Structure 1
Amino acid sequence: MLNTLRDITQAVASAGDLDAALELLVKQIKTAIATECCSIYILDKDELVLSATDGLEPAAVGNVRMSITEGLVGLVAQREEAINLADARQHPRFKLFPEAAEEEYRAFLAVPIIYQKQLLGVIVVQQASARQFSEGEEAFLMTLAAQLAMAVRGLKQKASVKGREKQILFQGTPASNGIAIAHALVLGGEISLQQPNRKAADIKVELERLSTAVSRCRNNLGNLSQRFDREQDQEVVAIFSALTLLLDDSSLGGEYIREVEQGWSAESAISRVSLRYIEQFQSMDDPYIKERASDIRDLGQKVLRQLIEPDRLVLDSDKPVILVTKEADTTLLAEFPRAKLAGIVTELGGVNSHAAILARALGLPALTGVQQVLASNIDKKMVVLNATRGQLMVSPSVAVVSEYRSLLNAEKALQRQYMQEVHLPAQTLDGERVNLFINAGLLSGLASELAEGADGVGLYRTEIPFMLQQRFPSESEQIKVYSQVFKLVAGRPVVMRTLDVGGDKPLPYFPIKEDNPFLGWRGIRMSLDHPELFLVQIRAMLQANGNSEQLKILLPMVSNIEEIDHALEYFEQAYQELKSDVNPDLSKPQFGVMLEVPALLYQLDEVAKRVDFVSVGSNDLTQYLLAVDRNNPRVSSLFDSYHPGVLRYLKSALELCQQYGLGISVCGEMAGEPSGALLLSAMGYRELSMNQGALAKINYLMRRVRMDELQALLQQALNMRCGADVRELLRDYLGEKGLAAILN
């Protein structure tokens, strides 16, 4: 039975279109259950449409339609549960459709096809003799429907976007907020590293093609290096430099040439060399060497793209595009001049993927986890990307495009309005000052007018320079990066978080494979297990800070007091060594911990004896409190920082920190959301750190509200039923204040 399930599922998933898949499905189900009739009804708006059958009148396909309030098929859809009847005619909801020629059938078994709470259709099997289908047959059909749901949804969406005249909506996870309107450019899903082995008709011609492709690839990488070098993003430059070196004749570039000289076409040569080295590297024990296979794959695909579709990235300068790809790596994203890239949509990747990080740094709207988008034929179609709401609209109507263009113009006007006050203090109408900081990881995020308006850096993610390297950065390399951070921030405080990798933030050269990475070896746990790396990072931070008072050091993912004690021992060791050997006047920075593991709240009395401050990571804290992986599209809708339980926890954390004399701030996404900033400040939080794109908006908002009114709202929010009610409460309040547009 398991083999049958697998075979049917694989066959449907590989079908070219929805109609072919459904025709195949009814035949295979009929054979598997050994019944006389199998039919599938697909939900189209509010109607169930007979879409495929093996046993009913073929001419009825597409013509038999019913609402979910009609017939037994409608009842299955209405109840969203299976119905198994020995004689369907005896049921009060039985309805005969003469055009389907189903008079002879008595036995009836139907199950719904449901994907993420959304009804897609109904599978029905029927038999002439009156008999109850067995529990095994019912279980088989229910299992099959569950397994097929994703494939059917994808094929249904693909069918919906074949014509330009019909609008279709995709959902995803917001990685970088914003709105964009442009044509889609689909990349990355159609070029495989596995190319056919084809002999060269003319070796000289193939060598010329290869040389041209490699030269173009080298020029692209060189241009990118120069671009990001000018923007002082040495972390990103290191990626392009490493790939460029691989193109040398003494490296992979020479291997490509030799493969062509042996008689293979340029495409086959790239494929053969790349796959050969990838296999060799992946078979090695050393994790760093094993992970270098990703560089070889990345480079091979880039050169192949120059061979197979060299003009794909040659875009009209006046027509920006929205990039749609499986998983955008940093170099693919950076290949587009900023003026030509309006937004990013990926099937895979999380909110902390390389593409998402760079998208936020560049101020681009980005959506991740948009399932089945590559299979939906949206290339060159007009799309509207509303990353703020997690939506991608394909072939929108003229009216929808017009509405979003108006929204974009209004948003730009509002942003200009916000920026006029960004240098003024975030102080409420009744005199309460809230300090606004920015979260950063790329140096380019600090060199802007927005960053100048911040009170400092509330979270510097040191893992991002690590993630953009091909190896662990040395002490001197880290000193250089951290020194630039302090220089750009110009005397204001900088909270530097020690290396926080694992979970959704792996290092390419230090892979961590775990069944449950968010509860695994990450953050301070990894640092303490590798003191040689931890000490180097602490030493680099201290030396970059020198005699100034800018630096504050923050430990991530702390779950117990022992971790703090061990970290402080290493910190003291590094500090005393540097004070003795390098700088006798070395400043001793404040030390803090992230509050993201819920249990730490109940040991804040002990925490206060050891550190100076606490920074609440609302993202991880929320997913741990609610047991929801925010990067998992199947459950991400349950991730809600406005859940009353989360709000009560945040209020308790503040009160306990005040009781024990601990400084406290919030550095998660919630701090940069208008509703979140209002609730947090009402609780008493006076330090909020956010992505720089939110800074001007939050500053503008805080200068137009009263703290006493916010505190009254907070009391209502804490006693509400769910996060949706809390957001509605804040929406109504902002509407009354004439500030509703700030939520867009």
Structure 2
Amino acid sequence: MLNMLRDITQAVARASSLESALNVLVSQTRLAMATHCCSIYILEQQHLVLSATEGLEKSAVGRVSMPLSEGLVGLVAEREEAVNLADARIHPRFKLFPEAAEEEYRAFLAVPIIFQKQLVGVIVVQQPEARQFSESEEAFLMTLAAQLAVVVRSLKHKAAITNVQQQVLFSGVNASSGIAIAHGLVLGGVISLEQADVRCIDIDVETQRLKLAMQRCKDMLSSISQRFERENSAEVASIFTAFQLLLDDSSLGGEYAREVALGWQAESAVSRVSVRYIKQFLEMEDPYLKERASDIRELGQKLLRQLIEPGRLELEPDKPVILVAKEVDATLLAEFPRQKLAGIVTERGGVNAHAAILARALGVPAIVGVDDVLSIDIDQKLLVLNANRGQLLVSPSPAVIEEYQLLIDADVEKQKQFSAELSLPSVTTDGQRIHLYLNAGLLSGIASEIAECADGIGLYRTEIPFMLHQRFPSESEQINVYRQVLSAAGDRPVVMRTLDVGGDKPLPYFPIKEDNPFLGWRGIRLSLDHPELFLVQLRAMLQAAGNGNQLQILLPMVSNLDEIDQTLKYLEQAFTELNQELNTILVRPKIGVMLEVPALLYQLQDVASRVDFVSVGSNDLTQYLLAVDRNNPSVSSLFDSYHPGILRALKRAVDECKQYDLDVSVCGELAGEPYGALLLVAMGYNKLSMNQGSLARINFLLRRVSKQQLTELLGSILQQSNGNQVRGILAHFLRKNNLSDLVNID
């Protein structure tokens, strides 16, 4: 049985088109189940269309179509469950389609094909004699349908996209919010590092080609590095400086040249050297050296692009594009002038990869994890990227384009309106002052004009400089970065979170492989296990702060009181050492903990006796309370920050913090959402920290609502049974107060 399932699934997956795949499916399924007839119906615009058959009239394919409310096949789709009948003719939903010539069949078994809650189609087997299909036959067909759902869905996308008249939708994960309309540019996706071994005709010509390609790479890398240095993003610039060094004659650059001198074509030389060194580095035991293989691969592909498609980036400045690639590295993203890059779509990558970090810093809409987007030809096709919803529309209709353009235009006007009040303090109509802080990770974001209007930096993610280096940054390098952050904030408070890696934020030079990374070695757990690294960071923070009182230190992923106690000991050690070394008395910063692990909700009285403040990380707190991995597309729809259980936990947290005189704020995504900000203010939070793109909108909103009104609304909200009901109440509140246009466009 397992062998048959495997054979059918593999045969369908190998098919080059949806039509051939479905024909293979019905043919092999009929043989495997020893039935007289097997057919498959695909859902198209709420109609089930006969798309392949072995046993019915072939001419009926594409002609037989029924709504979900008709026929036994429609019943299967409607119920989303199997239907197994000994004699289909006597069932009240039986409907005969004469053109299919199915009069002779009585036994009927059909199961739905479902991918991530969405109906794809229905597979049916039939026999002339009246009999009930056995439980094992039913189980086999259901298993087959489940295994084939992703393949059929993928091939359906591929088939649809070849018809530019039909709009096609791809889904991914939002890495940087926003909406863009532009033509697609598929870049690098077709270039493989493994090039064929080709001997060259003229070594001098190939040597010159290689030199020119390497010089273009160096010039590009140098230009990017200088640009980010000018923008005070030294931690980003270091990425590109490292790649320049690899192109030196004493490094990979010399190896490429020697391979050409042996008679290989430039592309072959780059490929041979890269593959050879990648293999050597991957075989090394040291995790840092092993991880350097990715640098060699990235540089090799960058150089091959200059050899194979050197003019690909020479775009007209007035024609922005949506970059589509298998994976986008930070260098590739930075190659584009901002005015040419409308958006980013990748098959791979995470929301905290280098490219995603830069996309957010630059304000470029981006989605990642878009399955099969490169399996079809979308180069130069018109695209609509709705990163707010994690959607990519290919070849949309003129009406859809017009609708999205109106949304973009309206949002631009709204942003102007919001920005006009950004310098004014956030005070509700009944006088409640709400402090709005900035979540930041790149220096260029902190130093921008919009950040100057924040009340301070509520969360500086120190892991960003770590992620953008090729190794652990030294104490002096960290001091330099932290001083720039404190300086950029003026005299306003800065909350620096200690290293928070692991989960969805790996370091390229310190890989952590775990079966369940979100419940594993991350945050303060990792820091305490590596005191040699932790003490360097604490020392760097203290020295950067000097005698000022701006600095506040925040501990991530705290799950028990011992972790707080151990951290305080290390902080005291660093404090004492520096006072002796520097012969001075440094200012002792305030210490806080992230409230992310649910267990800490029940120990806030003990927490209050140890630290000065709590910062609620609503993203992870929601993830852990709901037991949902928010980056897993199979369950991400269950991640709901407006789940009443989550809201009750947040209300409990602020009430207990006030009871124990513990300062509290929220730094998760919820604080930067209009609905979320209203709820948090209603609960009693008066310190919200958010990404800079949300500051103006939230300030504008809170200046137009009453704290008293929100408090009165909260009682009803907390009694709701699901997040949609909560959002419905908040939407009504905004409409009633003529503020509904403040909800993010989607």
| TM tier relative to shorter chain | over 0.9
Aligned to 1:167: 167
Distance across 1 between alignment mates of 2:400 and 2:311: 31
Tell me the SS of whatever aligns to 2:200.
Answer: coil
Letter aligned with residue 101 of structure 1:
A
Q: How far is the alpha carbon of 1:133 from its aligned partner?
A: 3.1
Contact 1:154 1:376 in 2 (8 A): no
Which letter maps to 1:222?
Answer: S
Distance 1:622 1:357 in 2: 22
Give the AA of the match of 2:81.
Answer: E
Q: Indicate conservation of the 8 Å contact 1:155/1:376, yes or no.
A: no
State the alpha-carbon separation in 1 of the partners of residues 267 and 84 from structure 2: 55
1:130: Cα distance to partner? 3.8
Range 9-18 or range 234-243, more displaced: 9-18
In the TM superposition, what is the alpha-carbon distance from 1:634 to its structure 2 partner?
A: 1.3
Distance, in Å, in 2 between the alignment partners of 1:582 and 1:31 is 82
Cα deviation per residue 1:1-39 (whole Å; 9 max; x = unaligned)? 333333332333333221122122222222332333222
Structure 2 counterparts to residues 550-589 of structure 1, below 5 A: 550-589=550-589
> Equivalent residue for 2:433?
433
Give secondary structure in 1 for the equivalent of 2:603: helix
Alignment of 1:296-315 (within 5 A): 296-315=296-315
Aligned partners of 1:438 and 1:67: how far apart in 2?
51
Which residue is equivalent to 1:58?
58
Q: Quick one: distance in 2 between partners of 1:583 and 1:211?
A: 54
CA–CA separation in structure 1 for the residues paired with 2:235 and 2:438: 19
Moved more, 102-111 or 274-283: 102-111
Q: Please report how far the alpha carbon of residue 235 of structure 1 lies from its aligned counterpart in structure 2 after TM superposition.
A: 1.1
Residue 458 of structure 2 contacts residue 495 of structure 2 at CA under 8 Å; is this kept in 1?
Answer: yes
In 1: Cα distance, 2:627 partner to 2:614 partner:
22
- Equivalent position of 2:641 in the other structure: 641
Cα pair 2:188 2:305 within 8 Å, conserved: no
Equivalent AA in structure 1 for residue 405 of structure 2: R
Q: Does 1:252 align with 2:252?
A: yes
Deviations 1:281-306 (A, max 9, x none): 11111000000011011111111222
Match of 2:484 in 1: 484
Is the CA contact 2:427–2:702 (under 8 Å) kept in the aligned structure 1? yes
Task: Please give the alpha-carbon distance, in whole angstroms, between the structure 1 residues aligned to 2:24 and 2:224.
Answer: 48
Unaligned runs of 5+ in 1: none
Letter in 1 for 2:574: A
Q: Per-residue CA shift, 1:265-317, capped at 9, x if unaligned?
A: 22222222212211111111100000001101111111122222222222111
**Following the alignment from structure 1 to structure 2, what is the Cα–Cα distance between the partners of residues 166 and 600?**
51
Q: Deviations 1:79-107 (Å, cap 9, x if unpaired)?
A: 11122333333433333322222333333
Q: CA–CA distance in 1 between the matches of 2:12 and 2:261?
A: 43
Deviations 1:522-542 (A, max 9, x none): 000000000000000000000
Aligned residue for 2:495? Answer: 495
Q: CA deviation at 1:583?
A: 4.5
Amino acid aligned to 2:566: H
Q: Partners of 1:454 and 1:589 in 2: how far apart? A: 21
- Letter paired with 2:635: V
Residue number in structure 2 paired with 1:13: 13
Q: CA deviation at 1:142?
A: 1.2
Instruction: Specify the code of the residue in structure 2 equivalent to 1:7.
Output: D
Give me the TM-score of the superposition, normalised by structure 2.
0.97
> Secondary structure in 1 aligned to 2:307?
helix
Greater Cα offset, 423-432 or 93-102: 93-102
Cα distance per residue 1:57-114 (max 9 Å; x no partner): 2211111112222222222112111223333334333333222223333332221110
SS in 1 for 2:508: coil
Q: Which amino acid aligns with 1:274?
A: S
* 1-structure distance, mates of 2:572, 2:542: 11
Corresponding residue number in structure 2 for 1:189: 189
Q: Match for residue 467 of structure 2?
A: 467
Match of 2:80 in 1: 80
Q: How does 1:179-578 map to 2 (within 5 A)?
A: 179-578=179-578
**Counterpart residue identity of residue 562, structure 2:** E
SS at match of 2:425: coil
Distance 1:485 1:4 in 2: 61
Contact 1:183 1:380 in 2 (8 A): yes
How many angstroms apart in 2 are the aligned matches of 1:22 and 1:377? 21
1:93-104 matches, cutoff 5 A:
93-104=93-104
Q: Distance in 2 between matches of 1:15 and 1:210?
A: 39
Moved more, 374-383 or 543-552: 374-383
| Amino acid aligned to 1:605 | Q
Report the counterpart of residue 701 of structure 2 in structure 1: 701
Residue 720 (1) aligns with residue 720 (2): yes
Gaps of 5+ in 2: none
- State the alpha-carbon separation in 1 of the partners of residues 676 and 583 from structure 2: 43
What SS does the corresponding residue of 1:508 show, helix, strand or coil?
coil
* Residues 1:400 and 1:269: Cα distance change in structure 2 (over 3 Å): same
CA contact (8 A) 2:87 2:106 kept: yes
User: SS at the partner of 2:62?
Assistant: coil
Give the Cα separation in 2 of the matches to 1:240 and 1:13.
40
Instruction: Give 1:245 shift.
Output: 1.2
In the alignment, the residues of structure 1 paired with residue 562 and residue 423 of structure 2 have an alpha-carbon distance, to the nearest angstrom, of 42
Percent identity between matched residues is 69
Moved more, 541-550 or 344-353: 344-353
Moved over 6 A (4+): none
1:700 shift after superposition: 1.1
SS of structure 2 residue aligned to 1:392: strand
Which amino acid in structure 2 is aligned with residue 478 of structure 1? Answer: Q
Return the letter of the residue paired with 1:632.
Answer: N
Preserved contact between residue 68 and residue 78 of structure 2 (Cα < 8 Å): yes
Counterpart of 2:257, as a letter, is: I
Q: Relative to structure 2, which stretch is displaced further, 59-68 or 489-498?
A: 59-68
Counterparts of 2:266 and 2:125, CA distance in 1: 53
**In structure 1, distance between residues paired with 2:731 and 2:275:** 54
- Distance (whole Å) between structure 2 residues aligned to residue 197 and residue 88 of structure 1: 61
Distance 1:742 1:188 in 2: 39
Work out the CA distance in 2 between the residues paired with 1:8 and 1:438. 54
CA apart distance, 1:211: 2.4
CA contact (8 A) 1:166 1:395 kept: yes
Aligned to 2:181, the other structure's residue is in SS state strand
Q: Counterpart of 1:707 in structure 2: which amino acid?
A: K
SS across alignment from 1:374: coil
Aligned to 2:176: 176
Amino acid at match of 2:107: A
CA distance in 2, matches of 1:129, 1:214: 72
- Give 1:609 deviation, angstroms: 0.8
Q: Which amino acid aligns with 1:286?
A: D
Deviates more, 1:555-564 or 1:700-709: 700-709
Equivalent-residue separation in structure 2 for 1:716 and 1:407 (angstroms)? 32
1:82–1:109 Cα contact (<8 Å) kept: yes
Give the counterpart letter for 1:256 in structure 2: Y
Aligned to 2:345, the other structure's residue is in SS state strand
In 1: Cα distance, 2:143 partner to 2:314 partner: 47
| Amino acid of the structure 1 residue aligned with 2:52 | A
Find the residue that maps to 1:375 and give its secondary structure. coil
Comparing 720-729 and 286-295, the one that deviates more: 720-729
Q: Hey, what's the Cα distance between the residues in 2 that align with 1:103 and 1:209?
A: 70
- 1:733 is aligned to 733
Q: Quick one: which amino acid aligns to residue 518 of structure 1?
A: F
Q: CA-atom RMSD, angstroms?
A: 1.6
Q: Is the 8 A contact 2:359 2:366 kept in 1?
A: yes
Q: Is the 8 A contact 1:203 1:263 kept in 2?
A: yes
Secondary structure in structure 1 of the residue aligned to 2:192: coil
Q: Encode CA deviations 1:527-561: one digit per residue, 9 max, x unaligned.
A: 00000000000000000000000000000000000
Letter in 2 for 1:572: E
Q: Residues of 2 paired with 1:288 and 1:46: CA distance?
A: 53
